[in-house]
Each structure stands twice: as C-alpha cells, then as structure tokens.
Amino acid sequence: MARIRNVFEIIELYGHDENFEPQCSPEFSPTTAPAGSKQKIDILAERIQRGMPLWHPEDSTESSAVMVADDD
C-alpha cells in the first residue's frame, strides 16, 4: 500500500480522516507570519499538503492589524 502523504489522500481512500496522523519532521518549524495573512494561509496550506500538523505550538498568534499597529 502506498504511503498516505496528507489528510486529503486518506479521506479519498477511506471517506474520513479518523486514521490520519500528521507527521512532524525537522521541516515543521514555527512561523512569524501574522494570523490571517496570505503568507500564513500559504504556510498552512503547504503544511497540509506535506502531511504536517496544521498548527505549530510556537506559531505567531498576532494578527496583521496588531503587528502593523506595533510598527507605528
């Protein structure tokens, strides 16, 4: 059986994601991208496609609005 790479493949195979376990690797690192930013969304999409957990415990939780206000 081929290795399941991401949650989409397991849903396609079994019709649900109950058996999917995201894989952590050295590439799974935190991001400083602001919450809700296009950069953060792109990072989350890449994590899903690579079979990684969606959220890293050290990801920034600041929104882009707060980060812009802090720069003033």
Model confidence band, residue 14 (pLDDT cutoffs 50, 70, 90): confident
Q: What is the pLDDT of residue 53?
A: 92
Q: CA neighbours within 13 Å on the CB side: how many for 40?
A: 16
CA distance 66 to 48: 26
Q: What is the pLDDT of residue 64?
A: 67
| pTM of the model as a whole | 0.72
